[in-house]
């Protein structure tokens, strides 16, 4: 079993248990998905990004034979398995996949994009779909659904659908701690956690206004124990990076508080927090309980292949587009800026660049208060 499914298994198990506990019937009309690579069923195949899963060994265990569909795993992802468990089709189609249409999307649709985050700056690192754009696709989907089914039936689909949200890991590991953007200079870790939680809250309130009533929101796993982080931690013995795990625990506590508050504020929103931290950590510390033989699900170098290829592709992109990495000056190079990166000439007074998504790029410390920074950065129109 490759590492992607190991990472995603706790999300599947805990989300499925939440569905069973909260659903008033064994079926829902649709599964609607937002988030990152943990739930992206192929949208990144359709956008100009190096962060793709359309090559082996991805998809080697797909039903019907090996097939790299854009899912970041060896086979189906949790949304697919949840959909099938609820009596819906066994694959949740990616919204941007031209092979599917609105008739397919009426029973399930995925807007997720690998590499994205709650923070717009995270999506800009590897030119993937930001969360605000996922919401715009959701709005467009509803317009298409109304045209196909009629207003009443379309509203019933959205209202009864299970909305699955899994996002946040990349904000820390591919943005803040990687020093790929200026967030590390703009915010302390607790401030950045607060920014993300506020952004998550705004997102949930936004999809509620658009009709979502049944939503699961996943917390972070033990991000310091992900295979790539353990590999990068080789000089310290290759174990988990406890500093990252501590951040995940702190962030998760804040998300749980936010979810409780939002449920009180919006009583018609059936919102469930999905805890994945402990179950994921149990897979690391007690692999035999998950059926792993030979001493450990993460011990045998299974991080190679896809994960290392993705990191090499990401490094190449950063060099070409001159995105600073770990404080080093990138090599000289030319190229069009990634989505969200400043174009030449797109500057505000004082030399502050404006990103393609219309947000001010963060390049260093600012004299603004944390509240001012937070309000100016939270995702577009959420």
The pLDDT of residue 199 is 98
CA 264, 201, 203 angle in degrees (round to 5)?
125
In the block, tokens 């179950």 appear at 279
What's the number of CA atoms in the CB half-sphere (13 Å) around residue 346?
15
- Whether residue 204 contacts residue 262, with contact meaning beta carbons closer than 8 Å, is answered with yes
- Whether residue 128 contacts residue 51, with contact meaning beta carbons closer than 8 Å, is answered with yes
d(CA 38, CA 199): 19
The pLDDT of residue 328 is 25
Catalytic residues: 37
The pLDDT of residue 74 is 94
DSSP H helical ranges for 86-188: 102-105, 120-125, 131-149, 151-160, 169-171, 183-186
Q: What share of the chain is helix, strand, coil (3-state, %, to 5)?
A: 45, 10, 45
d(CA 76, CA 191): 36
Close Cβ partners of 102 (under 8 Å, ≥ 6 residues apart): 141, 144, 145, 147, 148
- Whether residue 321 contacts residue 180, with contact meaning beta carbons closer than 8 Å, is answered with no
Domains of the chain from N-terminus onward: 3-339 (3.40.50)
CA 77 vs CA 4, 50, 362: distances in Å = 9, 20, 34
- The one-digit pLDDT tens for each residue of the chain (382 residues) are 333 444 455 555 555 555 554 444 447 999 999 999 999 999 999 999 999 999 999 999 999 999 999 999 999 999 999 999 999 999 999 999 999 999 999 999 999 999 999 999 999 999 999 999 999 999 999 999 999 999 999 999 999 999 999 999 999 999 999 999 999 999 999 999 999 999 999 999 999 999 999 999 999 999 999 988 888 888 878 789 999 999 999 999 999 999 999 999 999 999 999 999 998 888 888 877 766 655 443 333 333 334 444 444 444 444 433 333 222 222 333 333 333 333 333 322 233 232 323 332 222 333 344 444 444 443 343 4
d(CA 141, CA 159): 14
CA 89, 112, 219 angle in degrees (round to 5)?
100
């Amino acid at each position: 079993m490759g590492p992607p499914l190991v990472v995603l298994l706790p999300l599947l198990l805990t989300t499925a248990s939440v569905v069973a506990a909260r659903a008033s019937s064994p079926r829902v009309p649709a599964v609607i998905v937002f988030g990152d690579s943990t739930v992206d069923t192929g949208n990144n195949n359709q956008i100009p990004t190096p962060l793709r899963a359309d090559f082996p060994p991805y998809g080697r265990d797909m039903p019907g034979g090996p097939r790299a569909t854009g899912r970041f795993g060896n086979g189906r992802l949790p949304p697919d398995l949840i959909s099938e468990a609820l009596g819906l089709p066994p694959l949740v189609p990616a919204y941007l996949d031209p092979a599917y249409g609105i008739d397919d999307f009426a029973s399930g649709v995925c807007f997720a994009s690998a590499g994205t985050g709650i923070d717009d700056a995270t999506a800009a690192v590897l030119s993937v779909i930001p969360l605000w754009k996922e919401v715009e696709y959701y709005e467009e989907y509803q317009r298409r659904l109304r045209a196909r089914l009629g207003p009443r039936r379309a509203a019933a689909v959205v209202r009864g659908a299970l909305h699955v949200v899994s996002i946040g890991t990349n904000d820390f590991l591919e943005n803040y701690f990687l020093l790929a953007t200026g967030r590390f200079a703009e915010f302390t870790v607790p401030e950045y956690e607060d920014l993300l939680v506020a952004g998550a809250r705004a997102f949930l309130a936004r999809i509620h206004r658009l009709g979502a009533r049944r939503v699961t929101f996943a917390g972070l796993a033990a991000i310091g124990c992900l295979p790539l982080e353990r590999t990068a931690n080789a000089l310290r013995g290759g174990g988990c990076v406890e500093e990252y795990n501590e951040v995940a625990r702190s962030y998760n506590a804040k998300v749980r508080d936010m979810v409780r508050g939002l449920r009180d504020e919006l009583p018609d929103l059936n919102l469930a927090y999905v805890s994945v931290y402990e179950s994921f950590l149990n897979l690391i510390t007690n692999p035999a309980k998950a059926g792993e033989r030979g001493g450990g699900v993460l011990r045998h170098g299974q991080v190679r292949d896809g994960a290392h290829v993705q990191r090499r592709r990401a490094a190449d992109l950063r060099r070409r587009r001159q995105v600073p990495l770990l404080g080093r000056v990138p090599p000289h190079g030319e190229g069009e800026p990634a989505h969200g990166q400043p174009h030449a000439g797109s500057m505000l007074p004082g030399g502050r660049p404006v990103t393609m998504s219309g947000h001010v790029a963060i390049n260093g410390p600012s004299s603004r208060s944390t509240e001012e920074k937070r309000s100016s950065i939270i995702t577009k129109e959420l």
